[in-house]
Amino acid sequence: MVVKDMMPNFELFQPTQVKDALAILDSYGKDAWKMAGGYDSLVWFKERIKRPKAVIDLSGIAEMQGIKETADGVEIGALTTLTDIENNSIIKTKYRLLADAVAKVASPQIRHAGTIGGNASQDARCLYYRYGLPCYRAGGTTCYADTPEGINREHALFESDRCVAVTPSDGAPALVALDAKYVLRSSSGERVVGSEEFYVGPKIDITHMTSTKPEEILVAIRIPNTWAGSHFYFEKVADRNVWDFALVNVAAALKVQNGVIRESRIACGGVSAVPRRLTAVEEILKGQPMNETVAKLAGNSATRGARPLNYNGFKIPLMANLVTRAVRDAKA
């Protein structure tokens, strides 16, 4: 029996500068744990699944907080709270898709402390993985969800390779649709990666959901002005309106001129290990009128190649309907 009211001992560090946090990371290596808002981290510790020797509380690093406009768009510090993003005038005016997405995360209390970096970097929520069973993602040799007896109602439709867990983030699909870039810093330098490189599926790395290295910290997220002021749509379907993760969500950015879709970026969460960008749908929409017929075509095309598990077949029509509504109802 797992006792969940206690946490194992660890050294707690609370640096106020990124360089100091990186020095601690270099010292402890893979035995260090980076903590932002702390909601996901503390659950891991209390369930005794993760046992770091050092926890680096990043919340006191001022340079990782805040939202600022740049010549190319906007830069959001990774420690910026979801509430601050939801209420920020720049985000609401130019990149409303992200404000709409983070407004659907959990509850107001969690959004007050939860950060965009933490939300975008969440680990899998699969119950077998979270309960500490030796599944593939945990370094074992079995996917307990992908068995005849497996509980897999919330799991993947696409791109599962041994592991069928999905990305749980609401913010991530919106960031993908906005073509966000992720700023990762280590003591040896800085690298900026796009969404397709930042989010990784089990074929690339089955034990991680992002490409962030143990010695790196996600310090900021940059959104280019390419999609500023576009037609946006975000919708999340979950079993409960609050305190729950998406069964499926959709984020869409469309450039519309005289009723015609010139360009689009659409991504869904809850259907794959990564936010699934619907590139085939984007190609179909190019040059098409924004109407019900085209929207239905987009929705039906979105689910091609889906491989339902025993209990998640309902996600196929759900995903199709969400994409249909995104294309039909996106607003500037």
**pLDDT at site 247:** 98
DSSP bridge partners of 142: 135
**pLDDT at site 42:** 82
What global pTM score does this model have?
0.96
pLDDT in tens, 220-242: 999 999 999 999 999 999 999 88
Q: What is the mean pLDDT of the chain?
A: 95
CATH topology for the 9-58 domain:
3.30.43
pLDDT in tens, 101-139: 999 999 999 999 999 999 999 999 999 999 889 999 999
The residues near 316 (Cβ < 8 Å, ≥ 6 apart) are 157, 303, 306, 308
Q: Could you tell me the pLDDT band of residue 149, with boundaries at 50, 70 and 90? A: very high
Lookup: tokens for 294:
């085209």
Q: For the domain 66-121+166-225+232-329, what is the CATH code?
A: 3.30.465.10
Q: Is the dihedral of CA 260, 266, 154, 38 positive or negative?
A: negative
Domain boundaries along the sequence of the chain: 9-58, 66-121+166-225+232-329
> What percent of the chain is predicted at pLDDT more than 90?
91
